[in-house]
Amino acid sequence: MSVAGFIAIAFMLTMYVLLDGYDLGVAAVAPLIARSDRERAATMAGIGPFWNGNEVWLIAAGAALFALFPAAYASSFSGFYLPLIIVLWLLMLRGIALELREHFPSEIWHQFWDAAFSASSALLIFVFGIALGNLLRGVPLDAAGYFQGTFSFLLNPYALLVGVFAFATLGVHGATFVAMRIEGELAARAIQIVAGGSWLVLILYLAVTALTVSMNAPLRAPWLFAMPALSLTALGLMWRSARAGRAREAFVMSSCFIATLLAASAGTIFPYLLPAFPARNRGISIFAAAPSETALACALTVTLIGVAAVAIYAPIVWRRMARKVRVE
């Protein structure tokens, strides 16, 4: 049952990265593609109805971690105290920017919040990438499972590279969303970013994958070797759809690409929720962190019912709201 719990959390985090990933990506690429106040307003309007629901996946994953693996939740959240609080501040700033921009018809006001929105989103992607990098590499833990390192340990070259990779990947993901949801010139510029950005993503992907594999030399699961093939296929198809101007297809392929990356990451970390550095096996594994069978069963049931319900009503709402946004 612990394994099912691990899968549930990995699934929710993947959903978070796919969904909130496009909002973050849109914000990060907005300075590159949206040239006028009205175009920037259109990019924000494109994600306006969705970002709040998307962000709930992160909150839900945190809550599920709390219910499923309280020990891991407690030691990782308090261990990474400052980085986590900074993430919270960035999330808050981004929410404020997104909600308040349209409340004044002043261009100065808009410019300020656009900049705050793009900067906080870009920084969030970068920080999430660094977090993932450290998760793959492992972090120094004491016997009780509390983080023992410093801020500078977390900013190691490998994690920074993953941060840059995350930035490129989600930036392209956001651009596919803009191309799909917004009409006109803005969409044309976005699709060019996708086609060109694919090459950058490819290079970074190869570098990160090579480093990850060399770090975790004896890979546990043989299926992990198949993942790069899937990732590269998705990336290739995304590039082709972008070249052909098929935005929706590019968005789907970008989502597939990200999903394969996160599946591979989850497979690499498994069975740890927080692997240790340098010896992975001193980390917090799902078997040590689980509370009790009753609690696991309850939290898993809640997760399953909750996700199933969202899977039913969210698409209904999204379809209603899916009209293309026009630059006005």
Q: Would you say 25 or 79 has its CB closer to other proteins? A: 79
Report CA torsion sign: 12, 251, 232, 33: negative
Q: CB of residue 45 vs other proteins: minimum separation in angstroms?
A: 7
Angle (CA) 188-164-264 rounded to 5° is: 95
Which residues does residue 134 pair with via DSSP β-bridges, in sequence order?
Answer: none
Distance CA 198, CA 24 (A): 18
278 membership: H or E segment, kind and range:
none
Q: Would you say 108 or 217 has its CB closer to other proteins? A: 108
- Reference 27, options 90, 105, 106, 108; nearest CA is 90
Q: Would you say 76 or 134 has its CB closer to other proteins? A: 76
Q: CB of residue 244 vs other proteins: minimum separation in angstroms?
A: 28
Q: CB of residue 97 vs other proteins: minimum separation in angstroms?
A: 10
Crossing angle, helix 2-33 and helix 293-321, to 10 degrees? 30
Q: Would you say 221 or 304 has its CB closer to other proteins? A: 304
Q: Would you say 132 or 224 has its CB closer to other proteins? A: 132
- Reference 71, options 318, 286, 299, 325; nearest CA is 286
Is residue 260 within 8 Å of residue 18, measured between CB atoms? no
Q: Would you say 81 or 287 has its CB closer to other proteins? A: 81
Q: What stretches of the chain adopt beta strand conformation (E)?
A: 272-274, 284-285
- Reference 133, options 285, 321, 323, 275; nearest CA is 275
Q: Would you say 214 or 294 has its CB closer to other proteins? A: 294
The 8-class DSSP code of residue 11 comes to H
Q: Would you say 57 or 167 has its CB closer to other proteins? A: 57
Binding site for other proteins (CB under 8 A): 45, 48-50, 52-53, 55-56, 59-60, 62-64, 66-71, 73-79, 81-82, 84-85, 88-89, 91-93, 95-96, 99-100, 103, 144, 146-147, 291-292, 294-295, 298-299, 302-303, 305-307, 309-310, 313-314, 317, 320-321, 323
Residue-wise DSSP of 205-242: HHHHHHHHHHHT-S-S-GGGGGHHHHHHHHHHHHHHHH
Strand, helix or coil for residue 17: helix
- For β-strands 284-285 and 272-274, DSSP reports them as antiparallel
- Reference 250, options 262, 261, 263, 241; nearest CA is 241
